[in-house]
C-alpha cells in the first residue's frame, strides 16, 4: 500500500469533521441549527464516515490495524453534535449536557458497514485473482 493512503484516509474524515465545526461556529452559528443538522449530521458526516471506512476496508492502509477507523469515526461522530448543539446550549443556558451515546452507536454502525463492505470487496477481488 502506498504511504499516502495512511495519511489521506484519516485526513478526509478529519477535514470533514473540522469543516463541520467551522461552518457551525464560524459561518452559520447556532441560529441555523436545523439546516446544519440536516446537511452535516445526516449528510456530510455519515457520507465521509462511510467513504473513509470503505476505503480503509478496501485499501487496508494500516494492515491488520485498519479496523481502528471504526471506533475513531464513531468518536468523531459523537463529538460533532456535542461540540456544536451541546456547547451552544451550554453557552446559552449554562447547563452542561453530556454527549449522546446514540450518536456513538450511529457513527459506529455507519463506519462498520463501510468497513465491512470494503473488506468484502477486497476479499472478493483476492478470490478472483486466486481462482
- Give the per-residue pLDDT at 2: 59
Residue 38 has pLDDT above 70, yes or no: yes
Q: Which long-range contacts (CB under 8 A, 24 or more apart) does 97-104 make?
A: 103/77, 103/78, 104/74, 104/75, 104/77, 104/78
Residue 98 has pLDDT above 60, yes or no: yes
C-alpha cell at 20: 463541520
Provide the domain count of the chain: 1
Domain with 105 in it: 3-130
Predicted TM-score (pTM) of the model is: 0.89
Q: What is the pLDDT of residues 75-90, one digit of tens each?
A: 999 999 999 999 988 9
Q: Which residue has the higher pLDDT, 51 or 6?
A: 51
- At a CB cut-off of 8 Å and minimum separation 6, what does 90 contact? 96, 97
Amino acid at each position: 500500500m502506498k504511504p499516502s493512503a495512511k495519511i489521506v484516509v484519516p485526513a478526509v474524515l478529519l477535514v470533514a469533521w473540522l469543516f463541520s465545526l467551522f461552518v457551525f461556529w464560524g459561518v452559520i452559528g447556532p441560529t441555523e441549527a436545523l439546516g446544519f443538522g440536516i446537511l452535516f449530521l445526516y449528510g456530510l458526516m455519515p457520507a465521509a464516515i462511510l467513504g473513509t471506512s470503505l476505503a480503509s476496508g478496501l485499501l487496508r492502509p494500516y494492515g491488520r490495524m485498519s479496523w481502528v477507523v471504526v471506533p475513531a469515526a464513531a468518536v468523531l461522530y459523537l463529538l460533532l453534535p456535542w461540540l456544536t448543539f451541546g456547547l451552544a446550549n451550554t453557552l446559552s443556558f449554562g447547563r452542561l449536557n453530556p454527549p449522546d451515546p446514540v450518536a456513538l452507536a450511529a457513527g459506529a454502525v455507519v463506519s462498520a458497514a463501510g468497513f465491512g463492505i470494503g473488506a468484502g470487496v477486497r476479499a472478493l477481488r483476492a478470490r478472483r485473482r486466486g481462482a
